[in-house]
Amino acid sequence: MIKNDLYLKALRGETVERPPVWMMRQAGRFLPEFRELRDKYDFFTRCRTPELASEITMMPIRRYPLDAAILFSDILVVPQAMGMDFQMVEGTGPWLETPIRTPEQVKNIIVPDVDDTLGYVFDAIELTLQKLDNDIPLIGFAGSPWTILCYCIEGGGSKTFDIAKAFCFQHPEAAHELLQKITDTTIAYLKRKVEKGVSAVQVFDSWGGMLSPEDYQVYSWRYINQIVEALSPLTHVIAFGKGCWFALEEMTLSKVSALGLDWTIRPEYARSLTNHTMTLQGNFDPARLHSSPETIRKMVHEMISRFGKDRYIVNLGHGILPNIPLENAEAFIRAVVDWKPN
Ligand code: CP3
């Protein structure tokens, strides 16, 4: 039994004394102890070394009273396992020497055995669970098939992902073949994470908002929903789609336990689009953590009163920014922990 199960209660839609809180990208660059490790080991070495990955996962937990841990890793370990040699370039982000630009290349992409290729992630889960000692739940994650496709075709980050979109619209058959291969790998990967003991899995669709509502259904949601269908009998699934507020109604009809929101939607509107029944997660503007601790505290309390304390998980609307002062992150978390109904 997990001692602090506020996060799981919120996912189950149970009544809570206060909402749970965690922060997307909490195991990351805003922490000085993370930056110190970064000088010693390159990014994917940190992901591939279970001792390092589990230590990084614990860094924010040791500092703050968070209600959930998220395993340190990256969404790009999945396409790496499928044969795409992603590097993390300092100052630039993900980079792929030979991006997928032709339908023939899609044929060479494999659906790997996840135990052979991603065993280090499962070992990291095991070590992390020992360190967590059942205090709080551990969240596992994967990128959405669409978001992974974006990186595989683009070869790195982009403001528009127009090369990835052009590929889909010029070669829809090859695009769907690639999306299906990513989906099949992701399902096997997340199932294994659940077997290893994570309490929930979150699917990050960071670039879903690049698509029109119609294309979103065809190129993104259809595949996320396959993951939801496969995993929801086994665990809680949370779908986070950045810029995907237009799809919230369809998402609500699925078997997700919660939906993640970015900061561009009002709580009341998100509640009405999701029938007032769905657990929602979000949606503090990450840049708002540059405000003073007092302002952050006030804004968090207002956010809780607008979403309501039940069926709600306090989080940012996207990952925490690298230059956020430690005391501001702390103010965000403490505002939730100290919250009282009035
Ligand atoms: O949330 C957590 O704390 C767990 C760890 C985590 C990382 N990446 C570690 C990381 C998670 C959940 C991710 C997911 C991820 N990775 C996403 C989806 C979520 C999102 O933010 O949209 C995406 C799109 C990626 C791909 C990726 N990885 C990018 C674009 C970059 C470089 C730019 C950036 O935002 O940092 C990374 C590198 C990365 N992944 C870092 C961390 C801590 C920074 C690496 C470093 O500077 O050493």
Instruction: Outline where DSSP puts E strands in the chain.
Output: 69-70, 86-89, 93-96, 138-143, 200-205, 236-241, 258-260, 279-284, 312-316
Distance in angstroms (rounded) separating the CA atoms of residues 124 and 44: 13
- Residues with catalytic roles: 25, 29, 38, 74, 151
pLDDT at 316: 98
Beta bridge partners of 88: 94
Note if the bond before 108 is cis, omega within 30 degrees.
Answer: no
C-alpha 300/C-alpha 294 separation (Å) is 10
For residue 279, give both structure tokens.
Answer: 């657990």
**Alpha carbon nearest to ligand 1 atom 34, residue:** 93
Q: What is the CATH number of domain 6-337?
A: 3.20.20.210
Tokens for 224, please give them: 């996320």
Q: Buried b vs exposed e over 178-187: b needs ≥16 C-beta within 10 Å?
A: bbebbbbbbb
* DSSP β-bridge partners for residue 281: 260, 313
- Closest ligand 1 atom to 46 CA: 48
SS3 33: helix
Q: Which three-class secondary structure state does DSSP give residue 229? A: helix
Q: Are 114 and 188 a contacting pair, CB within 8 Å?
A: yes
> Of all helices (H) and strands (E), which one includes residue 241?
strand 236-241
Ligand 1 centroid from CA 225, angstroms: 23
- Which amino acid makes up residue 287? A
Local confidence pLDDT in tens for the 342 residues of the chain: 999 999 999 999 999 999 999 999 999 999 999 999 988 999 999 999 999 999 999 999 999 999 999 999 999 999 999 999 999 998 899 999 999 999 999 999 999 999 999 999 999 999 999 999 999 999 999 999 999 999 999 999 999 999 999 999 999 999 999 999 999 999 999 999 999 999 999 999 999 999 999 999 999 999 999 999 999 999 999 999 999 999 999 999 999 999 999 999 999 999 999 999 999 999 999 999 999 999 999 999 999 999 999 999 999 999 999 999 999 999 999 999 999 997
Residue with tokens 């980079």: 95
* Pocket of ligand 1 contains residue 206 by CB under 6 Å: yes
User: 313 by DSSP, 3-state: which?
Assistant: strand
pLDDT of amino acid 224 = 98
* Furthest C-alpha separation in the chain: 62
Q: Whose CA is nearest to atom 25 of ligand 1?
A: 75
pLDDT value of position 9? 98
For ligand 1, atom 38, the nearest C-alpha belongs to 93
C-alpha to C-alpha distance for 241 and 209, rounded to whole angstroms: 7
pTM: 0.97
Q: Encoding tokens for residue 117? A: 């290729």
